[in-house]
Amino acid sequence: MTAVLQKLSAFFRRVPFNREKAHQAQHPFWVIVRKETMDQINSRRFIILLGLMLLTAIASLYTAMSSLQSAISEDTSTSFVFLKLFTATDGTLPPFITFISLLGPIIGIALGFDAVNSERSRGTLSRLLAQPISRDYIINAKFVASLSIISMMVITLGLLMFGMGILLTGIPPTPEEFWRIFFFLLVSIVYIGVWLNLAIMFSVKFKQSATSALSGLAVWLFFSLFFTMLVNIIVQSTMPTQVTDVNQLISYQSFVQNLLRISPSQLFSEATTTLLVPTIRTLGPVTVEQASYALAGPLPLGQSLLLVWPQLTCLVAEACLIFGLSYVLFMKQEVRSRL
């Protein structure tokens, strides 16, 4: 058994080496990316994360299957059965989208928290910089490698849900459902990317990888636990005592909603819920005027995307901004070789 494992690991080590040899003329940036990717994949961390995601997929499929029957019979107006696999729950376990919004940050933080400071503490960073490559190749390559692993993970997970869903329900997804799930996976990648960038930023900022990991987790905990409490406190203190006008109430409501949207997980859950539940027509409060003569029905995919476009924009922009920040921090940092 151990012999087999050794052979396997030897095989895995050999393959990239051979490939590296074969692509001798490859751009140094992609060489670093490849190296980083291999390092990540071979680490125990990756196996743990993959196992976690697998468990997530199986658990959420289980809950979805047990509640799919009632979810379909409740909602006869739409026939998006396949999407129900991602959103349906019987109450014992959260659905798939909640799992992703909860565990996605952990994956991002886990893949990025020691990106730079581990190299630094091992003293390999200065050696790397001694090579004739641009300095930003290192941070860019680390980001690209981690993001590609995340993409691979999320897409694998999505395909797993697809396959198991078809196997268990016997219903193939419609093109509309396929594209909705595709966009959902894309948003998930961007969302995890935000947390990855945050973790990379901390890894640039803090010398100790434990500190950066903890600060990343602290931010995650803050947004998933304390942020809503904080917003509640703000709501209680600023709530208008006298409501004289519907518009006043609506504007206050949207103020509260915008406060909540500071949290990336709020943006993510709004975006994914709208994508996976086509009957959601608006995310804000609906006035009586807007609801009059409205017919219940699913939105086309384009309209759903347009509805959550601000959320998507925000997520992408956040990811880019945090990356830019960590980029600047890294570029301006002094790197000394350890003697």
Partner 1 sequence: MQRHLQKIVVILMLMGLMGGILFPVLPALAATAGVQLFTEYSGIAVTPGQSINYSINIINNSNSIQHASLEITEQPEGWETSLTAGGWNISRLSVRPQSEESFTLQTEVPLQVEKGSYRFTIRATDTAGRVSTLPIAIEVTEQGTFRTELETDQPNMQGNADSSFNYRLTLRNRTADEQLYALSTDAPRGWNVDFEVSSQKVTSVKVEANTAQEINVTIAPPAEIEAGTYTIPVQAQAGSSSAEAELEVNITGTYRMELSTPTGRLSTDITAGKEKMVELQLNNTGSSELEDIKLSQSAPVDWEVKFEPQIIESLLPGESATVNARIKSSGKAISGDYLVNIQAQTPEVSDSADFRITVKTSALWGWIGVFIIAMVGAGIYYLFHKFGRQ
| Nearest of 196, 193, 163, 187 to residue 85 by alpha carbon | 163
Output 46 or 179, the one with its CB closest to partner 1. Answer: 179
Q: How far is the CB of 273 from partner 1 (least distance, A)?
A: 15
- Kindly state whether residue 292 participates in binding partner 1, applying the rule CB under 8 A: yes
Give the one residue of 17, 328, 337, 338 binding partner 1; rule: CB under 8 A: 328
- Kindly state whether residue 323 participates in binding partner 1, applying the rule CB under 8 A: yes
Dist CA 1 CA 7 (whole Å): 10
Dist CA 197 CA 192 (whole Å): 9
Looking at residue 34, its amino acid is: R
177 close to 82: Cβ distance less than 8 angstroms: yes
What x/- string results for residues 244 through 283 when contact with partner 1 is judged by CB under 8 A?
A: -------------------------------------xx-
- Kindly state whether residue 285 participates in binding partner 1, applying the rule CB under 8 A: no
Dist CA 122 CA 201 (whole Å): 19
- Kindly state whether residue 332 participates in binding partner 1, applying the rule CB under 8 A: yes
192 close to 150: Cβ distance less than 8 angstroms: yes
264 close to 315: Cβ distance less than 8 angstroms: yes
CB atoms closer than 10 angstroms to residue 191: 28
Give the one residue of 22, 25, 288, 339 binding partner 1; rule: CB under 8 A: 288
Q: Mention every residue, 6+ apart, whose C-beta is less than 8 A from residue 212.
A: 113, 114, 117, 199, 202, 203, 205, 206
Instruction: State the number of CA atoms in the 13 A half-sphere of 233 facing the CB.
Output: 4
Q: How far is the CB of 258 from partner 1 (least distance, A)?
A: 15
Output 225 or 288, the one with its CB closest to partner 1. Answer: 288
Site for partner 1 in 81-140 (CB under 8 A): 134-136
Residue where the block lists tokens 């890894």: 203
Dist CA 285 CA 48 (whole Å): 41
Displacement of CA 100 from its chain's centroid (Å): 7
- Kindly state whether residue 309 participates in binding partner 1, applying the rule CB under 8 A: yes
Segment interacting with partner 1 (CB under 8 A) among 30-38, 66-74, 228-236, 290-298: 290-298
Give the one residue of 295, 334, 336, 339 binding partner 1; rule: CB under 8 A: 295
Output 197 or 269, the one with its CB closest to partner 1. Answer: 197
Give the one residue of 144, 152, 320, 335 binding partner 1; rule: CB under 8 A: 320
Residue 325 has which token pair?
């920040």
Output 142 or 209, the one with its CB closest to partner 1. Answer: 142
Dist CA 256 CA 231 (whole Å): 8
Output 47 or 317, the one with its CB closest to partner 1. Answer: 317
Torsion of Cα atoms, 249 then 253 then 258 then 259, to 10°: 100
Q: How far is the CB of 205 from partner 1 (least distance, A)?
A: 16
Q: How far is the CB of 60 from partner 1 (least distance, A)?
A: 28
Size of residue set near partner 1 by CB under 8 A? 37
- Kindly state whether residue 324 participates in binding partner 1, applying the rule CB under 8 A: yes
Q: How far is the CB of 141 from partner 1 (least distance, A)?
A: 13
The DSSP 8-state label assigned to residue 225 in this structure reads: I
Segment interacting with partner 1 (CB under 8 A) among 155-163, 180-188, 235-243, 288-296: 288-296
In the complex, the residues that contact partner 1 under the rule CB under 8 A are: 134-136, 281-282, 286-290, 292-297, 299-300, 302-303, 305-307, 309-310, 312-313, 316-317, 320-321, 323-324, 327-328, 331-332
